[in-house]
Chains A and B, each alone.
Chain A
Amino acid sequence: MKDLQYVVLRKEHFDGFISRLSKLQKVIAPVSRGYNNFSFEEVTSGAGVALKYIPTIIPPKKLFMPQRETLLEFDTSKGLNAEAVVEYEKITIFGVHTCDLAGIQCLNMVFSERPRDYNYLMRKRKINIIGLECNEYCDEFASCALANTSTPSGGYDLFFTDLGDYFIVHINTQIGEDIVEAAKFFEGADKSHLEELTGLRKRKRSLFRNEVALEPRYIPALFDRSYNSRVWDDLDERCLACGNCTHVCPTCYCFDIRDEINLTLTAGRRYRVWDSCQLETFARVAGGENFRKERSSRQRHRYYRKFRYPIDRFSRFFCTGCGRCSRTCMAGISLKETLASLIEELEETVSTLMEGNY
Chain B
Amino acid sequence: MNKQNHSEIETKKIMNLLERRTKEVEIIKQISGQINKSLNLSVIASTMLSLMDEYFGFKHSMILLVSEDKKCLNVLETYGYENKGIGAKVNFGIGVIGIVAQKKKLMRMANLGMQRSYMQAIRKQVSVSDNKKLQDEVELPGLKNAESQVAIPMLIDDELVGVFSVESVKLNIFDKDDEILIGILANQAANALQNARLYQLEQKRLNELNNAHLQLENLNLNLEKKVEERTSELQELSQKLAKYFSPQVYESIFSGKLDVKVQTKRKHLTVFFSDLQGFTELTERLEPEVLTELLTQYLTEMSNIAIKWGGTIDKFIGDAILVFFGDPKTKGKEEDAVSCVSMAIEMLEKLNSLRSTWRKKGLAKPLNARIGIHTGVCTVGNFGSEDRLDYTIIGNGVNLASRLETSSEVNKILLSEDTYLLVRNKIACKKKKSINVKGISYPVQTYEVSGFLDLNKNLFEKNIPGLSLSLDKTEIEDNESAIKLLSDVLKKLKSSNNK
- Do the two shown chains form a genuine complex with each other? no
Using a CB–CB distance below 8 Å, which chain A residues touch chain B?
none
Chain B interface residues toward A at CB < 8 A: none
